[in-house]
A = this chain, B = another copy of it.
Amino acid sequence: MALIVQKYGGTSVGDVDRIREVANHVARTRAAGNEVVVVVSAMGKFTDDLILLAHDVSSTRPAREMDMLLTAGERISMSLMSMALGAIGVKSSSFTGSQAGIITDTSHERAKILEIRPDRIREALDEGLVPVVAGFQGVSTERDITTLGRGGSDVTAAALAAALKADVCEIYTDVAGVFSADPRVVTKAHRLDKVSFDEMLEIASTGGRVLMLRSVEFARRHHVPMHVRSSFTWEPGTWIVEEDPTMEEAIVSAITDDTSEAKITVAGVPDRPGVAATLFRELANDDINVDMIVQNTSAYNLADISFTVAKTELKAAMAVCEKVQKEIHAASVTSDDSIGRVTLVGAGMKSSPGVTALMFETLYKDNINIEMISTSSIRISCVLRADKVADAVRLLHTAFGLDGE
């Protein structure tokens, strides 16, 4: 008998029919002899509607009150789910984040989980019930209601799976799994049966939209296999598992793309210690997430530092850079919001020379210019003009032999 944590996102429980379909699948999983814990998001766009309502009612939206407001959504979906299970003879009980023992820090709207005390969930399982747990929410050490930020329900599922020592954490969504590239860009993209945690982390952090980074990190740290699959077709999806050292790894598993970022270049900076530290400390102090960073030094002991930030944070980031410019004696600060990034991810890359060369040759053959390069042992990212990104992904998908039937 396996213990399975099943997480259903907003589209999976978007209306009454969908809730009933999910209940049927939970019943099937139970009937196959498994213990099941269900984690649900709020129904469809309900959370977005609440946010609009808050904007309507007030210009002041303290994070504590936003958390109180938004957690109403899962409360509705989880109790309805529990009733839907009851209707088909599956005994269940719903639990808020607080009741499920999701203890977080006090950072409202993006709380971090400090501890899971799943006693009530364990008890419910022991009584033969299916616990239905509110995703996305917890209770802080100050006894206030908190939310876990974007992708929070995935984090709840992974954390509960870890605490309960579940056999698998299933993430149900509206796509069939993780693909070799975005199917909207590459029609020949195919679903991956299996990726390693490390690959998934790179895919998630470079534009793969299926899973949020935090939940993958959680599952990796606690050795909980994840299974991303569709709640519309119910077919098997993509497993995310520990690397299997006995297995030959794909050199390139997936190609991701991301056009949500902009580039900032701080040019003509004296090449001495502490300059980058000053710049990125100031950005961090303003809560700006910096992604790719590239620095190179010219002949005159002057360095250019380029980095990418989310387009939504470009204005704030530019303000910080312009403030710091004088302090670090930079010649200029410029930005560019017409960039895009293409990334190759593959665990086999580290033992395969020539991947970089093939990537660059492929882009060069089509006259696509590379503006920034950044690599890890299992990833190569190139920044290009945004309007070349789709072409680049398709060319690389073919060049690395990923095109399906």
Contact = CB atoms under 8 A, between A and B. Distances in A.
Nearest to A144: B99
A78 interface: yes
Contact of A94 (B53, B68, B78, B80): B68
A65 B94 contact: yes
A57 interface: yes
Contact of A53 (B16, B75, B93): B16
A56 interface: yes
Interface residues of A, number: 38
Nearest to A93: B64
A165 interface: no
Interface stretch (A3-11, A81-89, A168-176): A81-89
Contacts of A72: 72-73, 75-76
Contacts of A83: 54, 57-58, 60-62, 65-66, 69
Contacts of A65: 79, 82-83, 86, 93-94
Interface in A89-104: 93-94, 96, 99
A76 B57 contact: no
Interface string A382-400: 0000000000000000000
Interface of A: 16, 19-20, 50, 53-54, 56-62, 64-66, 68-69, 71-73, 75-76, 78-80, 82-84, 86-87, 93-94, 96, 99, 120, 143, 145
